[in-house]
Structure 1
Amino acid sequence: MGRTLDIAPLRSFVAVADCGGFQRAASALHLSQAAVSQHVRRLEAATGRILVERQGRGSRLTRDGEHLLRQARRILRLHDETLHSFVPQAAEPVIIGSTEHAAAQLLPPLNGVLEQELPDQVMRFRIDRGNRLREGLDTGQVDLALLLGPADDPRAWPVGQLELTWYSAPTWERPSLSQPVPLVVFDQPCSLRNRALEALSFHAIPTVIGAEAVQLAGVQAAVRAGLGVGLMATLGQTPEGLVARDDLPQPAPLPIALWARQSLPTEISRRVAEALCQLLLAPADLAPSDLPPAPLAAPVDAHLEPSTSKGV
């Protein structure tokens, strides 16, 4: 047929009608008045009709112009709706929760790995107590949670274990054998608190709670103040102002697991779990039997299935 109604001229034509003239239409479209006039002339050439005629200092649409205006609005509406249907929808962010024990050392490299592994997925992190993160999984406020303790639920993926270290103030001295060892611990419920008490009780070392805190900063401040020793998971990085202790029994490492919200796509859980395994496989003193299934060493379906094992 050889004749076409292009979108840009149609948009200029509708703007002339809506704005009441060429100059105002040009301002609204951020075009020159000459460009808008040229667009209208192209439409007149395509239709073979006069669409706009001068009226004093202004202009008005002819009957053919009114007809084209109705059709132009329909064409532009369909054009814009069609393009909009192909606009990528913004992905909902995946909320990854973590306890403070793993956050400072583990989340920065985890975020870097996920930016490479899942570049199109927005990740958001939340730091909280383990019990609150579990509640968040149940209510849908958290999608994934990195928690200390065994992977004793079908939603949990074992990803490794954290070595635990006793820390004290540099000037703190252990009491005599007849005196209880003062401990700085987190409020209950807390896996670290339980592991500290179990480790010393197993060796018949008496203990007393010297201080309790809700957050890691509070535990470290109390230990720094000399109120007792604290058991912490620091991934080998000694907190500022503290010293590691080797005169207390070494507790067993704590397993760490990635818990997933029930309806979260399995592929997202798997990719995050694999990233965590890569980061947590670094300690050289873990026995092979202690390691989680090696990520990326086998096809995706052959490893990292959620665990249903019980116990620490």
Structure 2
Amino acid sequence: MAAPLDLDQLQTFIAIADTGSFTRAAEEVHRTQSAVSMQMRRLEERIGKQLFEKDGRVNRLSEDGERLLAYARRMLRLNRETIAAFDDRRLEGHVRIGTPDDYADRFLPEIMARFARSNPRVELSVICEPTVNLVEQIRRGTLDLALVTHDDEKGQSEVVRHEPLLWVASSNHAVHEEEVLPLAVGRPTCVWRRAAIDMLDQMERDYRVLFTSWSATVIIASVISGLAVSVLPECALRPGMRVLGESDGFGTLPDCRIGLMRGHTGQPAIVEALARHVSESLDNITLPASEEAGMFDFAAMMAMRPRRHRPNMMPGW
């Protein structure tokens, strides 16, 4: 029977992937750099694969390293959940989290399920409102944590996920070919709306805002019904949508950055536990290609698939 993997080695491996450096990973796991290097050599021997590859003066995760990373995160997560399940000092209390409905459908089921399994004594209250409202609630102290669309100009959140922001239209209509492009977008404060209009101005493309709403349901309905074109992150794609790219005459938009905001709370341990679950869940969520491939222009979507926010460049052992 094969010997089990060493969780300490996997924890170090994850720290290297997350920090992008053997040196910073050593500080995070409280080991010397030589000890970290030894752990990685032993892990490679145990796996029987090369986990890092040289690229000039830096080391990157190899293809096998990327594959192991997903398993390592799951194993460490299950280890924490197992320990929490038998801990009589488990967290107990009430925490309030807010998120726009754009993200709620895609992300909340995984986040809530994982958090509830690890913290069954914590009551979770969820509020779905636009980012601008959530930011204000964080400032007022009526929310403990918010998953929001990051605004570079305001820099109000810790970015935990990048997704491509995509032009979308109905797969059954040619509304994107109209001389004056009809748009369905958020209110003027919406980061995605500003990005779309800036790009259309650069393209010198005539447009008119046909629908304005903070509701993802309204925007998505107007797109699928063929009434307008919109911009959405990959997580918001739905059956009946077509992704528009350069071949359709649409320029590439900046990434959508999803961030976390923490409020002033009297329960920092619970909030930090939930923040960790959110970050880990978002890092593991991907679009299920086998289920979604027929729902929209999958080739175009894959050409613009999300890039990780964590670096995979690791200087020297």
TM range (shorter): 0.5 to 0.7
Which residue number in structure 2 is paired with residue 238 of structure 1? 237
Counterpart pick for 1:257 among 239, 259, 281: 259
Cα pair 1:161 1:280 within 8 Å, conserved: no
Cα distance change on mapping 1:293 and 1:120 into 2, 3 Å: farther
Task: Provide Cα deviations, 1:225-262, integer angstroms capped at 9, x if missing partner.
Answer: 32210111242x63243333232223121111111112
Distance 1:198 1:188 in 2: 12
Distance verdict in 2 for CA 1:278–1:91, change over 3 Å: closer
Are the aligned partners of 1:99 and 1:127 in contact in 2 as well (CA < 8 Å)? yes
Identity %: 18
Corresponding pairs, count = 202
Unaligned runs of 5+ in 1: 1-87, 295-312
Q: 1:155·1:261 contact (CA, 8 Å) conserved in 2?
A: no
For residues 185-238 of structure 1, what are the alpha-carbon distances to aligned partners after superposition, in whole Å with 9 as ceiling and x for unaligned? 112321221122223333333322122123111112222332210111242x63
Q: Secondary structure at the match of 2:122?
A: coil
Provide the C-alpha distance between the structure 1 equivalents of 2:215 and 2:197, rounded to a whole number of angstroms: 18
CA–CA separation in structure 1 for the residues paired with 2:220 and 2:193: 14
TM-score, normalised to structure 2's length? 0.55
Q: Whole-Å Cα distance in 2 between the matches of residues 153 and 252 of structure 1?
A: 16
Name the aligned partner's letter for residue 309 of structure 2: L
Higher relative contact order (CA 8 A, sep 6+): 2
Q: Deviations over 1:143-187 (max 9, x none)?
A: 1111001477797332112222222122124336xx332211112
Contact 1:161–1:256 (CA under 8 A) maintained in structure 2 = yes
Aligned partner of 2:108 in structure 1 is 107
Match for 1:168: what amino acid? A
Counterpart in 1 of 2:208? 208
State the superposition RMSD in angstroms: 3.1
Other structure's SS at 2:278 match? helix
- C-alpha spacing 1:158/1:202, structure 2 compared with 1 (3 Å): same
Distance 1:172 1:183, change over 3 A: same
Query: Matched residues in 2 for 1:193 and 1:102: separation?
Result: 17
Amino acid at match of 1:193: R
Q: Distance in 1 between matches of 2:257 and 2:160?
A: 8
Larger radius of gyration: 1
Query: What does 1:38-77 correspond to in 2, within 5 Å?
Result: none
Q: Equivalents in 1 of 2:278, 2:202: separation in Å?
A: 31
Question: Please, which moves more after superposition, 192-201 or 265-274?
Answer: 265-274
Shift of 1:100: 1.3
- Supply the AA of the counterpart residue of 1:112: A
Report the Cα distance in structure 2 between the residues aligned to 1:267 and 1:141, rounded to whole angstroms. 17
1:182 is paired with a residue whose SS is strand
Tell me the equivalent position of 1:148: 149
In structure 2, the CA distance between the partners of 1:292 and 1:117, relative to structure 1 (3 Å rule), is farther
Q: In 2, are the aligned partners of 1:102 and 1:233 still within 8 Å (CA)?
A: no
Matched, 1:164 2:157: no
Confirm or deny: 8 A CA contact 2:150 2:156 kept in the other structure: no
C-alpha separation in 2, matches of 1:152 and 1:167: 25
TM-score of the aligned structures, taking structure 1 as reference length:
0.56
Determine the C-alpha separation between the residues in 2 that align with 1:271 and 1:293: 23
The answer to whether 1:131 aligns with 2:149 is: no
Supply the AA of the counterpart residue of 1:238: L
- Give the secondary-structure state (helix, strand or coil) at the position aligned to 2:279: helix
Give the Cα–Cα distance (whole angstroms) in 2 for the partners of residues 264 and 180 of structure 1: 52
Q: Mind listing any 5+ residue stretches in structure 2 that lack a counterpart?
A: 1-88, 287-301, 313-317
Name the CA distance, whole Å, in 1 between partners of 2:195 and 2:160.
Answer: 19
Query: What secondary structure does 1:142 align onto?
Result: coil
In the alignment, what sits opposite 1:69? Answer: none
